[in-house]
Amino acid sequence: MRVRRTLPALIGALALGLGMSMASSASAEPSVKDPCGFFETASDAYYNHCTSDGSRIVIEIDDWGPNSEQCVGPGVTWIGSASDVDGAWYTGRTC
Cα separation, 24 vs 94, in Å, equals 39
**Cβ distance 55 to 94 under 8 Å?**
yes
The pTM of this model reads: 0.65
Model confidence band, residue 82 (pLDDT cutoffs 50, 70, 90): very high
**CA nearest to 62, candidates 51, 47, 42:** 47
Give me the sign of the Cα torsion angle 48, 93, 81, 78.
positive
Cα separation, 68 vs 64, in Å, equals 10
In this prediction, residue 65 carries a pLDDT of: 83
**Cβ distance 43 to 82 under 8 Å?**
yes
What does pLDDT average to over the chain?
Answer: 79
Q: 11-54 pLDDT, tens per residue?
A: 555 554 545 444 444 444 445 578 999 999 999 999 999 999 99
